[in-house]
């Protein structure tokens, strides 16, 4: 099912938040890049198209990494199978660390922040997207409907109760970790990062026009994207 999603089939241009994520990335030319939760490797290949010198993609799924490897034979991209929580790269190894919609699967965001801070060079950037805390707070993670199936509003509950959410995503049971907006930001600051930008993206106009169901994306925040710098 994951493969059928526009973001999987069409790559980055199929993802409604990519235009915002992309705009936050620094110039990647001659940079060493780490991608946490790289999946099919779309962001790794994008980094190389932007002339990154070296890209490392980390993902827990061997199946996804296999697909990523099939899509390129670029010797400057290496894929490592590992839970994001287990990364242990040497100090100041990367110029840029990115992560797209993966860190809400990780129990301790704080631990990841500290590891990313360590492996980034001074002046390096950490740019990541997660499902928005308003999206992850209830385990149902769905609209509230009237009796006729119309979307009435997005229901929020349990916002301040951080932790595990057993949710259904594309027919499968998936474990996510809910954190508040303030926890994401303060964990970064406490790890030493400087906040450069916080975004709650909506899909681009042309995508809203083409896919009418996307108009509901204006009604509640779906993604949170943060750009932070090791100063």
**What does the binding site for a copy of itself look like in residue numbers (CB under 8 A)?**
134, 138, 144, 152-161, 180-182, 185-186, 189, 194-200, 202, 217-221
d(C-alpha 151, C-alpha 142), whole Å = 9
Q: Which is nearer to a copy of itself, 74 or 200 (CB)?
A: 200
Which residues lie below 8 Å from residue 19, measured CB to CB, with a gap of 6+? Answer: 201, 204
Provide the minimum distance between the beta carbon of 187 and a copy of itself in the complex, in angstroms, as a whole number. Answer: 11
Minimum distance from CB of 223 to a copy of itself (Å)?
11
45's tokens:
């290949």
> Smallest distance from the beta carbon of 13 to a copy of itself, in angstroms?
21
Residue 54 or 179 with smaller CB distance to a copy of itself: 179
Closer CB to a copy of itself, residue 114 or residue 186?
186
| Distance between CA atoms of residues 160 and 78, nearest Å | 38
Asked if residue 76 lies in contact with residue 55, where contact means CB atoms within 8 angstroms, the answer is yes
Neighbours of 100 (CB within 10 A): 24
Compute the least distance from the CB of residue 199 to a copy of itself, in Å: 5
Contact between residue 117 and residue 192 where contact means Cβ atoms under 8 Å apart? yes
* Structure-token match 């991608």, residue found: 35
Closer to a copy of itself by CB, 47 or 202: give it. Answer: 202
Tokens 């594309």 belong to: 170
Beta carbon nearer to a copy of itself, 69 or 151? 151
The CB-of-219 to a copy of itself minimum distance in angstroms stands at 5
Tokens of 31: 């940079």
């Amino acid at each position: 099912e994951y493969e059928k999603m526009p973001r999987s089939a069409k790559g980055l241009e199929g993802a409604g938040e990519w235009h915002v994520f992309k705009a936050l990335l620094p110039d990647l030319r001659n940079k060493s890049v780490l991608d946490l939760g790289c999946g099919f490797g779309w962001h790794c290949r994008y980094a190389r198209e932007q002339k990154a010198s070296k890209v490392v993609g980390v993902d827990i799924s061997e199946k996804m990494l296999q697909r990523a490897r099939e899509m390129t034979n670029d010797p400057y991209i290496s894929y490592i199978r590992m839970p994001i929580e287990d990364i242990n790269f040497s100090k100041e190894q990367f110029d840029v660390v990115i992560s797209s919609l993966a860190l809400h699967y990780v129990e301790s965001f704080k631990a990841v922040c500290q590891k990313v801070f360590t492996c980034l060079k001074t002046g390096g950037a950490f740019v990541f997207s997660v499902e928005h805390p308003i999206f992850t707070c209830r385990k149902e993670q769905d609209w509230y409907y009237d009796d006729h199936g119309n979307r009435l509003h997005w229901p929020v509950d349990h916002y301040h109760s951080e932790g595990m959410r057993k949710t259904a995503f594309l027919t499968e049971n998936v474990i996510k970790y809910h954190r508040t907006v303030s926890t994401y930001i303060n964990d970064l600051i406490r790890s030493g990062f400087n906040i450069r930008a916080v975004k709650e993206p909506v899909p681009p106009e042309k995508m809203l026009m083409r896919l009418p169901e996307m108009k509901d994306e204006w009604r509640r925040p779906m993604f949170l994207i943060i750009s932070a710098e090791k100063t």
